[in-house]
């Protein structure tokens, strides 16, 4: 029987990064993955395929709606959806192969099958044919991720009523897509199909969309998406759905208590994700789940059973690939005797709509709840030369700073390339910069980054230079 220092169960961004970091630190490592491709949700049915379709549909949208303004005329423009989806699959495959290469390079043994605890130090692996083998390990990192949440009253048939997984592999562009949930998945995948010509209606239980972000971002994003033709039904509670032939009828209750029906040819259920621990055999080693089906861990990500760690979507915190990665590295370094640390407040969140929305640190609503005195600097992209040149004038950058010390407490932005721009906020906050510190740093002209400097000038002393 093979024996390892560390076995990682699950090969998503948490698991494969944990495995690599363990190997870098000199441990003998194995990774177990249920599917015959590596990369988990993120690579196969999450971040990568969704961004491939977002970028593809955005190119089409620009060609259809914006190119003429730049003096570029297109005739006979149309979408080859089969090719668009095939390209997405090619990118997923390249990423799968890249991770397999990294496993080889780092001398990590890969086992295909469901990993299940027999004892604390013995793990059984059962492959798709039902064949079983066992390996031994000193320590284990559980990185089994999450799966889409289903609504108990709304069965998902995976054909007409679908989750994000099916929405990434459709064979046709929906005519009318009803999306339940105005969170990040609903907004991103809604954008994809809206740009490709579908009528998209988002039905959201709360009175706002993108509820995990600063309220100003959700408001601005909804305004812009509405302007582009997407429809929103807020404060509306979905009660059920029925399929008849190719038509889905979603029944919901609006804020006035009235029953409303929304019809479409597809209904995407995007109401969150739930940790995935089926088949792990946690009961064999005495690990219980909390009320939200998560594995409980301490600050070192160790479970109640010493030597068994858990990371990523299967534990508390934001369900994000980069959060899972940081935790993978932390678990490995802690096992190696180091003293790693994650600043969870500085894990950025991004919504890859267009414009993109991105956040780090405290939101205004957080600061109000904390009773913290703060200053706001909010600079619109339209005042930047770069934005006018590119035509991407929507959105703003908002900097929240401590009223007394001027330390930056939160950065929230919606606009072109916010997904990449947010890192300046992360770096500033990691080094505990004041808004004035940033406002005294040279930002290249013309770039969108100047918006960050201007928002900092406004937060520190209300003295923008270009507005």
**CB of residue 152 to ligand NAD, shortest distance in Å:** 10
Place of tokens 């370094």: 333
Mask for 50-89, x = binds ligand NAD (CB under 6 A): ----------------------------------------
Give the single-character DSSP code of 450: H
Strands 247-253 and 259-264: antiparallel
Residue 436 C-beta: closest distance to ligand FAD, Å:
31
114 burial (CB, 10 Å; 0-12 / 13-18 / 19+) is buried
- Candidate segments 201-209, 217-225, 336-344, 431-439, binder of ligand NAD by CB under 6 A: 201-209
Size of interface with ligand NAD, in residues (CB under 6 A): 26
CA nearest 179: which of 155, 162, 156?
A: 162
| Strands 132-142 and 308-310, sheet pairing | parallel
User: What gap in Å lies between CA 166 and CA 149, rounded to an integer?
Assistant: 14
Is 445 part of the annotated catalytic residue set?
Answer: yes
Q: How far is the CB of 369 from ligand FAD (least distance, A)?
A: 25
Q: For ligand FAD, which is the closer residue by CB, 279 or 391?
A: 279
Q: Please give the torsion angle defined by the CA atoms of residues 205, 208, 210 and 213, in that order, rounded to the nearest 10 degrees.
A: -130
Residue in the block written with tokens 């858990």: 310
13 binds, among ligand NAD, ligand FAD, none (CB under 5 to 8 A by kind): ligand FAD
The residue at minimum Cβ distance from ligand NAD is 183
For 333, list phi and psi in degrees, rounded to 5.
-70, -35
In the complex with ligand FAD, the residue whose CB is nearer, 421 or 455, is: 421
Q: Tell me if 151 contacts ligand NAD by CB under 6 A.
A: yes
Spatial strand order in the sheet of 237-244: 237-244, 247-253, 259-264
Which of ligand FAD, ligand NAD, none lies near 315, with the C-beta cut-off 5 to 8 A by kind? none
- Contact pattern for ligand NAD over residues 332 through 351, marking x by CB under 6 A: ------------------xx
237 binds ligand NAD (CB under 6 A): yes
In eight-state DSSP terms, residue 74 is -
Residues 45 to 104: which contact ligand FAD by CB under 6 A?
46-47, 50
- Closer residue to ligand NAD (CB): 353 or 460: 353
Residue 205's binding partner among ligand NAD, ligand FAD, none (Cβ under 5 to 8 angstroms by kind) is: ligand NAD
Q: What is the DSSP letter of 288?
A: P
Minimum gap (Å) between residue 237 Cβ and ligand NAD: 5
Burial class, 382, CB count within 10 angstroms (exposed 0-12 / middle 13-18 / buried 19+):
middle
**Is residue 181 near ligand FAD by the rule CB under 6 A?**
no
Q: Which is nearer to ligand NAD, 118 or 151 (CB)?
A: 151
Q: Find the binder of ligand FAD among 28, 212, 276, 372 (CB under 6 A).
A: 276
Question: How does strand 132-142 pair with strand 122-126?
Answer: antiparallel
| Phi, psi (deg, nearest 5) at residue 190 | -60, -40
Q: Count how many residues are written for the chain.
A: 467
For residue 94, give every residue at least 6 positions away whose Cβ sits within 8 Å of its Cβ, in sequence order, or none: none
- Reported as half-sphere exposure (CB side, CA atoms, 13 A), residue 354 has a value of 20
Q: Which of 59, 300, 341, 445 is catalytic?
A: 445
Residue for token pair 């946690």: 282
Q: How many residues bind ligand FAD (CB under 6 A)?
A: 37
Per partner kind, with CB cut-offs from 5 to 8 A, the member of ligand NAD, ligand FAD, none near residue 166 is: none
10 or 361: CB nearest ligand FAD: 10
Considering only residues 261 through 290, tell me which ones interact with ligand NAD, judged by CB under 6 A: 270-273
Structural contact between residues 202 and 209, judged by C-beta atoms closer than 8 angstroms: yes
- Strand partners of residue 163: none
SS3 of 344, please?
A: helix
Position 421 contacts ligand NAD (CB under 6 A)? no
Catalytic residues: 445
Residues at the site binding ligand NAD, with contacts judged by CB under 6 A: 151, 180-186, 188, 203-206, 211-212, 237-238, 270-273, 319-320, 350-352
Residues at the site binding ligand FAD, with contacts judged by CB under 6 A: 9-15, 32-35, 40-42, 46-47, 50, 114-115, 143-146, 164, 185, 276, 279-280, 312-314, 319-322, 324, 352
């Amino acid at each position: 029987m093979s024996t390892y220092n560390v076995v990682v169960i699950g090969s998503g961004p948490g698991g494969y990064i944990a495995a690599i970091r363990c190997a870098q630190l000199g441990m003998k490592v194995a990774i177990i993955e249920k599917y015959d491709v590596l990369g988990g949700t993120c690579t196969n049915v999450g971040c990568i395929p969704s961004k491939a379709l977002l970028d593809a549909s955005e190119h089409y949208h620009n060609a259809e709606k914006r190119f003429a303004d730049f003096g570029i005329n297109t005739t006979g423009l149309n979408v080859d959806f089969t090719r668009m989806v095939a390209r997405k699959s090619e990118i997923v495959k390249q990423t799968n192969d890249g991770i397999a290469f990294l496993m080889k390079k780092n001398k990590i043994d890969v086992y295909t099958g469901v990993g299940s605890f027999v004892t604390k130090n013995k793990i059984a692996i059962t492959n798709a044919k039902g064949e079983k083998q066992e390996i031994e390990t000193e320590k284990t990192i559980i990185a089994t991720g999450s799966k889409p949440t289903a609504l108990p009253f709304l069965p998902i048939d995976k054909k007409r009523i679908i989750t994000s997984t099916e929405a990434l592999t459709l064979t046709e562009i929906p005519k009318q897509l009803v999306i339940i949930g105005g969170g990040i998945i609903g907004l991103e995948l809604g954008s994809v199909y809206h740009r490709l010509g579908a009528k998209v209606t988002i039905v959201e239980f709360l009175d706002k969309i993108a509820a995990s972000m600063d309220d100003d971002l959700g408001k601005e994003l909804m305004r812009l998406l509405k302007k582009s033709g997407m429809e929103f039904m807020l404060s509306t509670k979905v009660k059920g759905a029925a399929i008849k032939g190719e038509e889905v009828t979603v029944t919901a209750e609006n804020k006035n208590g009235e029953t409303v029906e929304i019809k479409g040819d597809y209904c995407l259920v995007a109401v969150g994700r739930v940790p995935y621990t089926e088949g792990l055999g946690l009961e064999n080693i005495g690990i219980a789940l909390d009320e939200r089906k998560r594995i409980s861990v301490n600050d070192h990500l160790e479970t109640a059973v010493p030597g068994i760690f858990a990371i990523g979507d299967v534990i508390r915190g934001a369900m994000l690939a980069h959060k899972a990665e940081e935790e993978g590295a932390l678990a490995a370094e802690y096992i190696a005797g180091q003293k790693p640390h994650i600043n969870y407040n500085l894990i950025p969140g991004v919504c890859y709509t267009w414009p993109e929305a991105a956040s780090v640190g405290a939101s205004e609503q957080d600061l109000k709840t904390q009773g913290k005195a703060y200053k706001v600097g909010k600079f619109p992209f339209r005042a930047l030369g770069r934005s006018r040149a590119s035509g991407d004038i929507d959105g703003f950058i908002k900097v929240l700073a401590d009223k007394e010390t001027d330390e930056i407490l939160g950065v929230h932005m919606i606009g072109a390339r916010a997904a990449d721009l947010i890192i300046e906020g992360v770096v500033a906050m990691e080094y505990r910069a004041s808004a004035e510190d940033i406002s005294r740093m040279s930002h290249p002209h013309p770039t969108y980054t100047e918006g960050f400097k201007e928002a900092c000038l406004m937060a520190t002393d209300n003295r923008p230079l270009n507005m």
